[in-house]
Amino acid sequence: MEGNLKSTLHGNSDFTWQRPLHFIIPTCFIMMSLSAIVVRTVPILRRIFIPYGKTRSAIRQSPYLLHWLSDVTVPKSWFWHYYLLSTILSGCSTTVLVLCITQSNYCVSSWLPTDAKTLILLAMMAIQGSRRLYESRFVFKWSSAKMWIGHYLVGCAFYVLMNIAVVTGKRSKAKGI
């Protein structure tokens, strides 16, 4: 009995809450991709939601709901939030995974997969996020350009979902992979 529980906790069997994530996360990525395609192909949506920065000033003001929605913007310099999210999530996940792999008493999430591929992916995401965070805070010279809040939220969702996908993703059973 104890062996079955231990194998369940260490990722050999999915927890009940993980099963929906295997459907929800890819569905979210597909929906975000489809929404981008729709906005790019529908002329009115493309004119309203795609422009940012200098091209944004050409949008005429209008009482239409779509125009009102397009006026909800954030500074483009907020891009650094994406990288902060990615760095925090992947850094914390990497730390917890290392604690679990070393069978430390501090392993707080024993359901994490304890394979080298997950560790490498999380470490690479933490390094990339850290590099981009550093660049966006200390190297880039941001203008006063604005981006639509929808673009900002999709970017935040992308980085959160990527980290969840790496941690909860199904593992290949093929040998040598």
Domain ranges within the chain, ordered by starting residue: 2-168
The predicted-structure confidence for 100-147, as pLDDT tens digits, reads as follows 888 777 777 666 777 888 889 999 999 999 999 999 999 988 888 888
Residue 170's pLDDT is 60
Pick left, alpha or beta for residue 176 (phi over 0 → left; psi -120 to 50 → alpha; otherwise beta).
left
Q: Name the amino acid, one letter, at 19.
A: R
Angle at 114 between CA 7 and CA 168, to 5 degrees: 90
Residue 138's pLDDT is 93
Half-sphere exposure of 60 (CA within 13 A, CB side): 4
Residue 76's pLDDT is 84
Q: Give the three-class secondary structure for 73.
A: strand
Residue 40's pLDDT is 82
Residue 14's pLDDT is 45
Residue 6's pLDDT is 40
Question: Which helix H or strand E contains 51, and what residues bound it?
Answer: none
Q: Which regions in the chain score pLDDT beneath 50?
A: 1-14, 174, 177
Residue 83's pLDDT is 93
String of DSSP letters for 74-87: EEGGGGHHHHHHHH
User: Cβ–Cβ contacts within 10 Å for residue 165, how many?
Assistant: 16
